[in-house]
Amino acid sequence: MIQVYGIKNCNKIRDTLKWLEVQDIDYHFYDLKKEPLSREELEEFVHRIGLDVLVNSKGTTYRQLGLNEKNLNEKELFEQLLENQTMMKRPVLVKDEAILVGYDEEAFEAFIE
């Protein structure tokens, strides 16, 4: 089963869930606003794919926090992400040990197989 992490009102999440349903793929959706990742879970994501992949530095939350004007080190950026998980690129798909970040139907197909 695929695990999908994001926020419910995100267009990319809606598109992803619709794509998974059309493909008849079982998934479980985690709304990060209602079920934020624990520190340990987020550390595992960062360890496996990197903070630079996980953080959406072009997103609204990142800009609203003024992070583009701050020179944060990785630890500070991680803490910001832990507190503001809507800053995560979406969707985040997890299947077994693999993680895929971002909406890309071709990548989804390869990831699912």
The total number of structural domains that make up the chain: 1
The whole-number average pLDDT for the span 3-21 is: 96
pLDDT digits (tens, 9 = 90+) for 28-80: 999 999 999 999 999 999 999 999 999 999 999 999 999 988 989 999 999 99
Distance CA 92, CA 83 (A): 17
Distance CA 17, CA 1 (A): 13
Q: Is 10 a catalytic residue?
A: yes
Predicted local distance difference test score (pLDDT) of residue 33 = 95
Active-site annotation holder among 4, 9, 10, 101? 10
Distance CA 67, CA 45 (A): 21
Pairing of strands 27-31, 2-6: parallel
Q: What is the CATH number of the domain that holds 57?
A: 3.40.30.10
Which 8-state DSSP code applies to residue 38?
A: P
Distance CA 68, CA 49 (A): 21
Decide if pLDDT at 21 tops 90.
yes
Give me the domain span that covers residue 97: 2-112
